[in-house]
């Protein structure tokens, strides 16, 4: 039987990435060229061609600016989920501002899409057992059904290398965590979930790695990417650090072709369907702001 993996898209603008945080201040975002709608529409077209339904983790601020895009995603049969409101790292904003951020994002996206938002993914995978022990509980209190916010690898911008590699419950009062996919090799977790790793790795090598995961693991794999990764025409920032420029812009011109191959080579579905999370969570209780 062919393994079915979860296909996900983190819907954010090219200028909202953490790698550019020092050169594009948040106060300048409103002046930046918006390109997310056209690139996301290309993704929707590719998914339609392949007959794939996916989960779109959408920023609340993007949903406000492009409500018709959110409606097109929902109308195409994809799961509409939350990427938070303002793309702020969870460990940096603290528990109260996190609650306010996810509440605002969830309400905004639900009002536009006309459907319940259950899934959540933290910007830059900024949730972890030691840095945000309260996050999964707050997500449950605000009516979310699951999180896909932990990447069990070591990285200079994110990562929780000691986190469990499979679905787990970090807090008995919180939502389950569905971590990003890794391949265990020589006592180390190697990334096998998309993003920059997917663009930089030779495609046959990535395909072999994900096939190994599907053959050896009992849990589905999770793949993620961003609309800006399929947009080689976006502005190029000469004043960004060299490493940030390389990570962001490398092989964008071939990304759409690689995604098309990936859609053909594996079986894909929405997070809620692949992981059997189709039963809606209980309504969010009234939680007073601390």
User: Which pLDDT tens digit goes with each residue over 9-33?
Assistant: 999 999 999 889 889 999 999 999 9
> Around Cβ 56, how many Cβ atoms within 10 Å?
30
H or E, element range at 264: helix 255-265
Is residue 279 in a domain?
A: no
Contacts of 255 (CB under 8 A, 6+ apart): 199, 225, 229, 230
Q: Which residue, 218, 217, 213, 248, is CA-closest to 234?
A: 248
Specify the residue for token string 């790793």.
Answer: 197
Output the pTM of the full model. Answer: 0.93
Is residue 231 in a domain?
A: yes
Half-sphere exposure of 259 (CA within 13 A, CB side): 30
Torsion of CA 39, 45, 47, 49, to 10 degrees: -150
Is residue 270 in a domain?
A: yes
pLDDT of residue 157: 58
Confidence of residue 187 (pLDDT cuts 50, 70, 90): confident
Name the DSSP class of 177.
B
* Degrees, nearest 5: CA angle 144-93-175: 20
Specify the CATH number for the domain of residue 136.
Answer: 3.20.20.370
Is residue 280 in a domain?
A: no
Radius of gyration of the chain (CA): 18
Is residue 26 in a domain?
A: yes
Is residue 282 in a domain?
A: no
Is residue 287 in a domain?
A: no
Q: How far apart are CA 39 and CA 36, in angstroms?
A: 5
pLDDT average, residue stretch 143-170: 85
CA distances for 208 relative to 32, 61, 185, angstroms: 39, 37, 13
The total number of structural domains in the chain stands at 1
CA distances for 101 relative to 72, 97, 134, 176, 189, angstroms: 24, 6, 14, 20, 31
> Which of 46-55, 209-218, 273-282 comes out lowest in average pLDDT?
273-282
The proportion of the chain whose per-residue pLDDT surpasses 90, expressed as a percent, equals 80
> Around Cβ 60, how many Cβ atoms within 10 Å?
24
Write out the residue range of the structural domain in which residue 51 sits: 4-274
> Both ends of the chain: CA-CA distance in Å?
49
Q: How far apart are CA 168 and CA 171, in angstroms?
A: 9
Is residue 13 in a domain?
A: yes
CA 16 to chain centre: 14
Burial 243-274 (b: 16+ CB within 10 A, else e): ebbebbbeebeebbebbeebbeebebbbbbeb
259 in Cβ contact with 227 (< 8 Å): no
pLDDT average, residue stretch 104-129: 96
Q: Which residue, 181, 177, 171, is CA-closest to 119?
A: 177
Confidence of residue 200 (pLDDT cuts 50, 70, 90): very high
pLDDT of residue 249: 95
């Amino acid at each position: 039987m062919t393994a079915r993996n979860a296909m996900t898209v983190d819907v954010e603008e090219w200028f909202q990435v953490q790698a550019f945080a020092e050169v594009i201040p948040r106060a300048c975002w409103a002046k930046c060229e918006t390109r997310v709608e056209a690139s996301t529409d290309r993704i929707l077209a590719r998914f339609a061609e392949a007959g794939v339904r996916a989960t779109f983790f959408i920023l609340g601020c993007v949903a406000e600016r492009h409500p018709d895009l959110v409606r097109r995603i929902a109308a195409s049969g994809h799961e509409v989920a939350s990427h938070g409101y303002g793309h702020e790292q969870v460990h940096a904003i603290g528990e109260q501002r996190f609650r306010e951020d996810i509440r605002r994002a969830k309400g905004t996206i639900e009002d536009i899409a006309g459907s319940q938002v259950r899934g959540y993914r933290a910007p830059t995978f900024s949730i972890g057992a030691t840095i945000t022990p309260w996050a999964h509980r707050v997500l449950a209190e605000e009516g979310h059904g699951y999180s896909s916010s932990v990447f069990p690898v070591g990285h200079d911008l994110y990562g929780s290398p000691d986190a469990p590699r499979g679905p787990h419950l970090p807090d008995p009062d919180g939502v389950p965590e569905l971590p990003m996919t890794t391949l265990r090799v020589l006592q180390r977790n190697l990334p096998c979930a998309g993003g920059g790793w997917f663009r930089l790795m030779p495609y046959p090598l990535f395909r072999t790695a994900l096939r190994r995961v599907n053959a050896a693991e009992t849990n589905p794999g999770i793949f993620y990417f961003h609309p800006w990764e399929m947009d080689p025409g976006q502005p190029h920032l000469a004043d960004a650090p060299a490493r940030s420029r390389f990570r962001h812009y490398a092989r964008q011109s071939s990304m759409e072709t690689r995604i098309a191959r990936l859609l053909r080579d594996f079986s894909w579905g929405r997070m809620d369907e692949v992981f059997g999370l189709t039963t809606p969570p209980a309504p969010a209780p009234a939680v007073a702001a601390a």
